[in-house]
Amino acid sequence: MATPAALELVAVTKRYDTTLAVDDVNLKIPAGTYCCLLGPSGCGKTSTLRMVAGHEAVSAGDIILGAQNVTDLEPAKRGTAMMFQSYALFPHLTVIDNVAFALKMRGVDRAGRHRRAGELLELVAMSPYAARLPAQLSGGQQQRVALARALITEPQILLLDEPLSALDPFLRVKMRGELKRLQRELGISFIQVTHGQEEAMALADHIVVMNHGRIEQQGTARDIFHHPRTEFVARFIGGHNVLSDAGQLIAVRADQLGIVPFGAPALLTQTEYQGSYVAVSLTLDDGTALFSHVPEATFDVHPFRPGDRVLATWDPAKAQRLQ
């Protein structure tokens, strides 16, 4: 496998005619990092990934991989590899020939490319399926083949465009663990696009939250979850109420918002049992929507019902001020 390399984006901008998709993004990703670009559809995360891969031209700015400026290099010469959302396997080629395809294009003899492809199939636990066609594989198995095919070029950075979106929930969780294991074993950076907050927090050493083509916040999963800096991050990352307190805009985590059974300006509108807690939805008289995660044992002491008037409380010391 290639030597891991750091990635730096310097004032990177992408325009599609009059649409500004990525707006002056500056980002440093250390070598060997699992990074997730997180945000809603249209926030610029996929355009950013495709510019790093070389599949989209940079309108302005520079992309530095290791010590090399790769902004104008074609994809095959960048030291990156991309795993597409659709997997894009060749339907007429066997699994081993799909994985070995890039080496065939480089002129590597059949024995040599099959040997290397076999090693990667073993790495992703797909050796028994080497002679099958893609149509004979499950979605999860196709994903493993696509991953092995991307890795055969020995990239310094692997780029993944929503690789888990086509999988069922159970398999998605399983494959998250596989991706994290592979990234640690290989030691190279994985940069993954996702709109799933849970997925990003489970996988990433470094999360980059994007909105309207800009970086809203970046940091570890714990830092972003516990210390959102903006209203957008607090709402998008989930688990936070955003409200005004004494003129300050604050975020209060759902598990830190308590409710007490007093007639007060909060109407309980819905309860959902979630196992260890009950998710309670509230509406203040001014229309503000709040939600609380009430521990199951606490809820059982006073089982609130829709239509109850309650008081929402929180510890001001644990509220996060927003910019």
User: Which range is least confidently modeled, 108-112, 138-142, 214-218, 259-263?
Assistant: 259-263
pLDDT at 307 over 80: yes
CATH top class, domain 240-321? mainly beta
Confidence of residue 165 (pLDDT cuts 50, 70, 90): confident
pLDDT at 294 over 90: yes
Question: Can you give the pLDDT at residue 1?
Answer: 59
pLDDT single digits (tens) 32-85: 999 999 999 999 999 999 999 999 999 999 999 999 999 999 998 999 999 887
Q: How many CB atoms lie within 10 A of CB 175?
A: 18
Matching residue, tokens 């500056």: 26
Question: Can you give the pLDDT at residue 261?
Answer: 83
Question: Can you give the pLDDT at residue 127?
Answer: 95
Question: Can you give the pLDDT at residue 46?
Answer: 95
pLDDT at 126 over 70: yes
pTM for the model: 0.89
Q: What is the mean pLDDT of residues 170-186?
A: 89
Domains of the chain, by residue range, sit at: 7-226, 240-321
Residue-averaged pLDDT of the chain: 92
pLDDT at 247 over 80: no
DSSP string over 159-210 = EEESTTTTS-HHHHHHHHHHHHHHHHHH-SEEEEEES-HHHHHHH-SEEEEE
Confidence of residue 93 (pLDDT cuts 50, 70, 90): very high
Give the separation between CA 203 and CA 182, rounded to whole angstroms: 12
pLDDT at 179 over 70: yes
Say what percent of the chain tops pLDDT 70.
99
User: Which range is least confidently modeled, 2-11, 162-171, 187-196, 253-262?
Assistant: 162-171
- Long-range CB pairs of 8-12 (<8 Å, 24+ gap) are 8/63, 8/64, 9/48, 9/52, 9/61, 9/62, 9/63, 9/64, 10/61, 10/62, 10/63, 10/64, 11/60, 11/61, 11/62, 12/48, 12/51, 12/58, 12/60, 12/61, 12/62, 12/63
Superfamily of domain 7-226: P-loop containing nucleotide triphosphate hydrolases (3.40.50.300)
